[in-house]
Amino acid sequence: MSVAASAKARLVGASGVLAALLPTGVKVSYSPPRDIPDEAVYGGFTTSGPVALKAMAGGVRVKRSEDLTFHLYVRVRGKGRATTETTDARAVVIADIITVYIAAHTTLDDLAELKLIQVQSIELEGWIDDDGAGTTLTITVAVESYLS
């Protein structure tokens, strides 16, 4: 799990790269911020996929490969007369910046033990309430690593 946590930190951590790439006003954080602003990108949970032991020495695991996923959430909130059409469109603009970055940096500039990072899926969900409209776009990021 350490490689997935490192990859998430490289993207949305305290010194993550996405904060400098996204439009002004988009809050970027490693986990959900306490008070979510109108536009935010933050990391979510990490899940484990196949973990394969590659070598053993005296009964102790020496090397393994892991396939993990973690989620990045793009949340856009529009107040007043906003519609889900407008919040969806804004979430997609922000998500496009993230997905293009990941596609162009498949090892996150040589992050230790990371073999490949890529976008696995994207989900878009909007809502309307008495205060306006909003959208949460979920980017599922797949991480392949080889730990030695």
Residue 15 has pLDDT above 80, yes or no: yes
User: What's phi and psi for 17, nearest 5 deg?
Assistant: -80, -25
Per the CB < 8 A criterion, the answer to whether 74 and 87 are in contact is no
Q: Residues 63-97: pLDDT tens digits?
A: 777 889 999 999 999 999 999 999 999 999 999 99
Give the 3-state secondary structure of residue 57. strand
**127 vs 87: CA distance, rounded Å:** 9
User: Domain limits of the chain?
Assistant: 2-147
Residue 5 has pLDDT above 60, yes or no: yes
Q: What is the pLDDT of residue 48?
A: 74
pTM across the whole model: 0.90
Residue 1 has pLDDT above 70, yes or no: no
For residues 106-128, give the mean pLDDT: 95
Q: Between 115 and 53, whose confidence is greater?
A: 115
For the chain, the C-alpha Rg in angstroms (whole number) is 17
For residues 16-33, give the mean pLDDT: 96
For residues 92-121, give the mean pLDDT: 96
Q: What is the pLDDT of residue 27?
A: 97
Burial class (CB in 10 A: 0-12, 13-18, 19+), 20: exposed
Considering the segment(s) 2-147 as one domain, its CATH architecture is: 2-Layer Sandwich (3.30)
